[in-house]
Structure 1
Amino acid sequence: MATLKIIHTADWQLGKPFGRFPAEVSGALSEARLDAIDRIAAVAADRGAAHVLAAGDIFDNVDPGDRIVMQALSRMERANVTWWLMPGNHDHARPGGLWSRVRRLAPTRVRIVDTPEAVELEEDAWLLPAPLEHRKTTSDPTASMVDMATPSGALRIGLAHGSITEFGATGESANLIPPDRARSAGLDYLALGDWHGYLVVGDRTAYSGTPETDRFGRDEPGACIAVDVRQGDTPALDRVDTGRYRWLSRRWEVSSAEDLKRELDGLRSEARLADLLLDLRLTGVASLSDRVAVVSELEDRVAHELRHLDLDAGGLIAKPTPEDVARIDVQGALAGAAASLQARADGGGPDAAAAAAALERFYVEVMRHGAEASA
């Protein structure tokens, strides 16, 4: 065999609840993880790969529910590819557990590798899996690969789930894998899961990352790896985007509505807002009216264009101008309260931030009352 084309994927975590989000957001994110199976199948078809190797954490837990299991299997059944599924730490193998159930339901195209034994992918190509039997183990799950026998001259492809020790482990981490395992076990390629981003370790080992990003801190979309495994040569790796949603973290320094428009225009040119989850922190100094306009635009309009918005506007400081204060057209005690809040906000004391926030609320309510009165 000259070259074997495979798709390396991992960390689908089907059934992940996304409980901190509103129901309409969590539902969309959960469904996108199932849709990623279809996108992986499309990559396999495009690249001419007959095998998809999934390196653990196919499911988010050991009891994902009937719908998740059946949706996953039915999507895999439709693809003209063989799926090799291995338990990870979230969906670890146990007698009579999840994987026994999946095996009973699985179509012929879906193969479960839940024992550490070499299995033939096709002629002259063997898979050496390292399934996890526990969520955490202090032993190296790939140690058995060294002694797994395969025919002379056959390709040896490892499949494992865990952390490379070079990540800075202190000895307390679990499921540790030595960074030279591909060399010590004579592997032509070692496909890893657990790390949710794309990462190449040496010339024969890689993490594919998750096919659908699931947290802030990784701006890139989810992906899989199209791998050409070649006997006696370095494998060729090509990261292929599969994710629908992007989780972006941004810090914008703004002082006016015009600044916000510039940043939003840049964001819209980068991706479709409906497919973005945005963790946004605002900084800068703005007039009271500009700060209110900026926050209102984000909360009342942009938040509804995005899939989700986490907004921290605490770093955008309001400095009321004489024009701002003049708009707070109140008399008597209310006027005195507004003047007192402005003085405290300008004074820079320990209660300056609270006073500025109160003055902003005061400003918003006065503007709202004025608008309602004139309607």
Structure 2
Amino acid sequence: MPRFLHTADWQIGRQYDRFGPEDGPALAQARLTTVERIAALATELAVDAVLVAGDVFDAQTISDRTVRRLFMALQGFGGPWVMLPGNHDAALAESIWSRARRLNAIPDNVHVLLTAEPLLLAEQGLAILPAPLTQRQTFSDLTDWFDHAPTPLHLLRIGLAHGSVQGILAEDIDSPNPIDPQRAAHARLDYLALGDWHGCRQIDDRTWYSGTPEQDRFKSNGAGQVLDVQIDAPGAAPQVKPVAMGEFTWLQWQRRLQVASDLDALIEELEQIERSSVISLTLEGELDLAGEQRLQAALGRAEARHRVLECQLDGMRLLPTEADIAALQVDGYLDEVVGQLRDMQQADEPEVAREALAILAGLLRERQAGGAAV
């Protein structure tokens, strides 16, 4: 029973500059360590091969050091790795693949499929039909030749391609390179392993996108997995099992805080996230000073626990209650300032007023505790 892992869109070398010098490099490194976990899984499951359906690298200009590091990350699995050029690492006349060969970085058990011709892995029971991209975008279906390609009858016919299944995926996906939705049937494929869609998605019984094994976008589309595929014999139905693989989960939340129980629920949600994550949190609503203090404490804990916490508070208003103001013991000029800041939150710069009010409240608390004078 041939068994293989289907993965794609590793995009090694991708940069995350938006997250700054501390978190960006850690996210880039996670893509390499995830490859190491794929190699370990392949060995643990004793699969016959690992198929990578394009975009191994994020760009043609990746450094030599990163190229070498990628191929070193494969060492945990000694069986065949089958790699397809995608739109980010297309097989140009001069490409990252030709540079990798000059560096002598590609191990003997790695098959880089740069041309449209079958790769026969007889010992593993697989005949791989690849559709490598030789430029970033094409307007014809590079899988057409699968229909008429002869392969030994006793080997599984496995297609390997990178692009967009027509009429099913959104038109604005990363690579518009077209793929016939009936390709598996027309070409008598036992399985069609696809890349480019960064989420895990089944097209039909024999056609799957594995998605990227390390999530890189705020989308709930099954990213962060590889596919464990078993097929009993030519013509048999594939048995496909998604396996979680990624290091970081990306979460995008929008929450409205109106009453104390809303804040309680948000804090509980943040505390219950078990894995280190990349979190984008947008809040709107209103809080009193006590609620603001609790929120900031919860965000501080979450920021320490997770890889990234982005928090948008533009839609939040800080509304001190009469009890809040009384507790701050403000009078005279400071009382007027607090009132002006409360009013400003209804005007043109609510975020500035909110931050100023929170800072002032903090300073007043420090004064009460014996800190600096206001």
- Does 1:83 find its partner at 2:76? no
How big is each residue's C-alpha offset from its partner over 1:69-105, in whole Å with a ceiling of 9 and x where there is no partner? Answer: 1111122134222111111001111123211222342
CA contact (8 A) 1:76 1:109 kept: no
- Does 1:359 find its partner at 2:362? no
Q: Please state how far the C-alpha of 1:332 moved relative to its aligned partner.
A: 4.0
Which consecutive residues of structure 2, in runs of 5 or more, have no partner in the other structure? none
Partners of 2:351 and 2:39 lie apart in 1 by 53
How big is each residue's C-alpha offset from its partner over 1:166-192, in whole Å with a ceiling of 9 and x where there is no partner? Answer: 124399972011111111111110000
How big is each residue's C-alpha offset from its partner over 1:7-62, in whole Å with a ceiling of 9 and x where there is no partner? Answer: 10000000111111122211211111111122112221232212000000000101
Which consecutive residues of structure 1, in runs of 5 or more, have no partner in the other structure? none
CA contact (8 A) 1:86 1:129 kept: yes
Indicate the SS of the match to 2:19: coil
- Does 1:373 find its partner at 2:372? yes
Partners of 2:264 and 2:285 lie apart in 1 by 15
CA contact (8 A) 1:245 1:276 kept: yes
Partners of 1:170 and 1:295 lie apart in 2 by 38
Amino acid at match of 1:138: F
What is aligned with 2:109?
A: 109
CA contact (8 A) 1:84 1:113 kept: yes
Indicate the SS of the match to 1:106: coil
Amino acid at match of 1:87: P
How big is each residue's C-alpha offset from its partner over 1:258-307, in whole Å with a ceiling of 9 and x where there is no partner? Answer: 754543444443423xx211111223332133124313431x33212211
CA contact (8 A) 1:291 1:316 kept: no
What is aligned with 2:228?
A: 226
What is aligned with 2:291?
A: 290
Q: Please state how far the C-alpha of 1:218 moved relative to its aligned partner.
A: 2.8
What is aligned with 1:49?
A: 47
Moved more, 162-171 or 198-207: 162-171
CA contact (8 A) 1:77 1:110 kept: no
Q: Which residues of 2 match residues 251-262 of structure 1 at below 5 A? A: 251-254=254-257, 260=263, 262=265
Amino acid at match of 1:285: E
Partners of 2:78 and 2:173 lie apart in 1 by 43
Q: Please state how far the C-alpha of 1:4 moved relative to its aligned partner.
A: 1.4
1:219–1:269 CA distance, 2 compared to 1 (3 A) = farther
Indicate the SS of the match to 2:25: helix
What is aligned with 1:312?
A: 312
Moved more, 15-24 or 314-323: 314-323
Q: Please state how far the C-alpha of 1:146 moved relative to its aligned partner.
A: 1.9
What is aligned with 2:20?
A: 22
What is aligned with 2:150?
A: 149
Partners of 2:199 and 2:72 lie apart in 1 by 27
Partners of 1:199 and 1:242 lie apart in 2 by 16
- Does 1:248 find its partner at 2:251? yes
Match of 1:175 among 174, 177, 182: 177
Partners of 1:264 and 1:292 lie apart in 2 by 12
CA contact (8 A) 1:193 1:209 kept: yes
How big is each residue's C-alpha offset from its partner over 1:130-171, in whole Å with a ceiling of 9 and x where there is no partner? Answer: 011111111212122223221234321000000111124399
Q: CA RMSD in A?
A: 2.6
1:220–1:279 CA distance, 2 compared to 1 (3 A) = farther
Match of 2:191 among 189, 192, 195: 189
CA contact (8 A) 1:57 1:91 kept: yes
1:260–1:352 CA distance, 2 compared to 1 (3 A) = closer
Amino acid at match of 2:138: T
What is aligned with 1:137?
A: 138
